[in-house]
Structure 1
């Protein structure tokens, strides 16, 4: 492996993409003078590795400000005199005072094929919309989010039964590969890259657990996409049955025709199915009620032979 001439950087990073991309910078000899990250939220299901722990092993100072744009934080970061900023799944926006600091510019790694799915949680949104492809995009940072020139992209395939976590793990590898490929060129001169046509793209906001409610008037494919987009480690899709919240934590798509004209849940051949409004059905691979997994026997005791929706 060829190690590039040392350049200095401040890195804003979190999540697994942050861990792997910081690892690329360290492997390529970048002088990372400060890591800005987040404290883990105790109310969030944290299943990824820690950027702070990796930085600690590498002997890099770490800060976790509530707002990186506060004057005292901007001053601390400016004192590092970095050539570059890198942002890898960092959750706060960097404003103008920060973005003016690095001499060679700032770059962000985004989890979609920009300009499509700009904004928050792009993997979840891509699956909800039934996309067959996503990817990682490295772009120059501007005040407007996900809008600066593209340095490069690395595509990944979304299979019909991939969950958001499946796709995210593919994107971790794609982001690492993309950064490793592009980094030498960035350090040599920070090329302008390719302008993004924002009119050809799309922008989406964040999602909340309550956005996982199933709309049974939608097609089976659309419902399957919602379920797999918010499957664990995310909070899961849900519907209400007999006044109780029934969690739909997994589904499987075979493009099968349902058994009747009504939307309903039922068991057949040891499997649970949902017949949907378009006449298609999906298999529900995991149901939960009151914190317990429902097998066929527990389902029958609770709802009888079938649950009409």
Structure 2
């Protein structure tokens, strides 16, 4: 029976691990990132893949840094036939890539060679793409540059945000890996060299990318908001206080005010002028030091003093 080590961290990866066990593969161990402090109270929380692994009674290895670690040698000593990664979050060192007879493969949430890197789902929405997908590829030392084995494409809907698309692509990735593994094990699979002239990158989201530039078009800002929902969340500022914008829509309003200016206030939403004489309707937000709330609750409470002409920066 083919022995596998699975390496993954977020919720995207957990169903893929579950599929491997359900299909009867011999999962020797699960490698994931260390537990991290989460929330305002900094509660030490295991990653979703660890939770899934413990539910499945699988041994878990959590290296802080893989290269040169005791955990790396522990993984090597297990001598797996195949290593499967899915959003693990660390680069695999050369000595590990060379261990499995069947190689190391990665379930990557983009249609490679587009969007190599750590945030392909976020970036595809931010960029306004109308399609994405999953690629299964061989791993090599260069980031996401290995030969493609198989791909599956889906549409990005106007209502999709990163959370929704994560869930969709996790299912796509699980199904694609299930269909692809037999050919990998029998060594009859495809190997498609990536076209380097078509490579684009999706680096991990920076703090600067989270800040809304109201000079952009309403379409661009809407894509940014949904591309950063539900994490890390786009933000702006009002009277020097940060305000996170969780949900918004484009709207046909044009007061020809400066970008960032409040141009309309209703009972359950308010409208902010953007660049190019367009506007964004804010539906859900989070003022500094508060929980997220509907625009209606905001306007009844902490935002009750908001007035037409006020300016978000």
Q: TM-score normalised to the size of structure 1? A: 0.89
CA displacement at 1:154 relative to structure 2: 1.4
Query: Is this contact kept in 2: 1:15–1:48, CA < 8 A?
Result: no
The one of 242, 253, 256 equivalent to 1:260 is 256
Secondary structure of 1:17's counterpart equals coil
The one of 11, 14, 20 equivalent to 1:16 is 11
Gapped regions of structure 2 (runs ≥ 5): none
Question: What residue is the counterpart of 1:3 in the other structure?
Answer: none
Question: What residue is the counterpart of 1:186 in the other structure?
Answer: 184
Give 1:1-309 correspondences, 5 Å limit: 6-43=1-38, 50-70=48-68, 72-189=70-187, 191-232=189-230, 234-253=231-250, 256-263=252-259, 264-265=261-262, 266-268=264-266, 270-290=268-288, 291=290, 293=293, 294=295, 295-298=298-301, 301-309=304-312
Count of residue pairs brought into register by the alignment = 302
Distance 2:285 2:72 in 1: 48
Distance 2:49 2:232 in 1: 23
Instruction: Give the CA RMSD over aligned residues.
Output: 2.3
CA deviation string 1:266-295 (max 9, x = no partner): 314643222211112222111222315453
The 1:189–1:44 alpha-carbon spacing in structure 2 relative to 1, beyond 3 Å, is farther
Q: TM-score normalised to the size of structure 2? A: 0.88
Distance 2:49 2:12 in 1: 9
The 1:70–1:82 alpha-carbon spacing in structure 2 relative to 1, beyond 3 Å, is same
Distance 2:307 2:253 in 1: 22
